Copies of this chain bind each other. A is one copy, B any other.
């Protein structure tokens, strides 16, 4: 194995001291641009890469970020799995670009274990507020969707579910829907609460009766079916249903089928997290694309900003979501796009 090229090697090659090399490479100190450029050139030529753990020891930082993902498989903690994979991959990419490693930590770690993690910061995806990781006060924190506040609210990266819900309801209305209903999971996660509140506000504004059913986790298609049937058995019957999970939306479509109701003619359907399942459904279901890649990237950037940008006051970030209109909510004939 070829010996690692270190800061001393490049110091020798450039005819300066290790200190100067360190300064030149990290933009510290006051070094003439010329010297800096030369040192950097030599470093590149020699294929220098900083020895991460040496730097970590010297600086007291680990250049490692943690990301915690809620329950694996059981339950419906993560709205859609492809959502999470995209988020994870993009977060990891952003971290690596910035010179950090992103470690996955399993859910449900003890306080002691959590305390011993050598990390500079952590991302908690869709927190319930129970996560021990959120109790660490010595690391930077970011949540995606907001943590039920308990003590200081960590910075978050989230979608504007309030706006998005309104957007869906207005889309429904424009397609002739006058009695929209809502199918959600139990409250506690911020996005659920946001959708419910926004839905209720819209109903009050438009003088219609709010109609909400809850389905308990695991929120599968099958579990959603009875709740959807209850909604559809209501009098007057709702003519549109918005679901807070992709799989429950499929349950609605199935329920409509059972009752010989046509989607979208008799019932509009939309869901909050876009997924392959919704796109492939029959009919394809209108959905909100939450932009998982952007959420992952932003969460990492916000974390690193807290770590490095000590001065500026940082703010939580709202990532735009996109409403993807599909056949399940289009009463007019579909216009086919060429290609």
Contact = CB atoms under 8 A, between A and B. Distances in A.
B89 A81 contact: no
A103 B106 contact: no
Interface stretch (A15-23, A111-119, A149-157): A111-119
A84 interface: yes
Given A105-B96, A282-B254, A72 B90 contact: yes
A222 interface: yes
A89 B106 contact: yes
A293 B113 CA distance: 20
Interface stretch (A52-60, A174-182, A262-270): A52-60
A213 interface: no
B85 A73 contact: yes
B85 A276 contact: no
Question: DSSP class of A's interface residues: helix, strand, loop or mixed?
Answer: helix
A99 to B, nearest CB: 9
A101 B66 CA distance: 9
B89 A107 contact: yes
Contacts of A113: 96
Nearest to A87: B72
Contact of A69 (B52, B78, B88, B280): B88
A52 B116 CA distance: 9
A92 interface: yes
Interface string A246-257: 010000001000
Q: How many copies does the complex hold?
A: 2
Nearest to A76: B276
Nearest to A1: B138
A69 B85 CA distance: 9
Contacts of A140: none
Contacts of A102: 103-104
Contacts of A292: 73
A220 interface: yes
15 contacts: A51-B118, A53-B53, A67-B104, A69-B88, A72-B90, A85-B85, A92-B105, A93-B106, A96-B109, A220-B276, A220-B279, A220-B280, A221-B280, A247-B276, A247-B280
Interface of A: 1, 49, 51-54, 56-57, 62, 64, 67, 69, 72-73, 78, 81-82, 84-86, 88-93, 96, 101-107, 109, 113, 115-118, 138, 218, 220-222, 247, 254, 276-277, 279-280, 282, 292-293
Given A51-B118, A53-B56, A57-B57, 19 more contacts: A52-B62, A56-B57, A64-B103, A72-B82, A72-B85, A72-B293, A73-B86, A73-B292, A84-B85, A85-B85, A89-B106, A91-B104, A92-B105, A96-B106, A101-B101, A101-B103, A102-B103, A222-B280, A247-B280
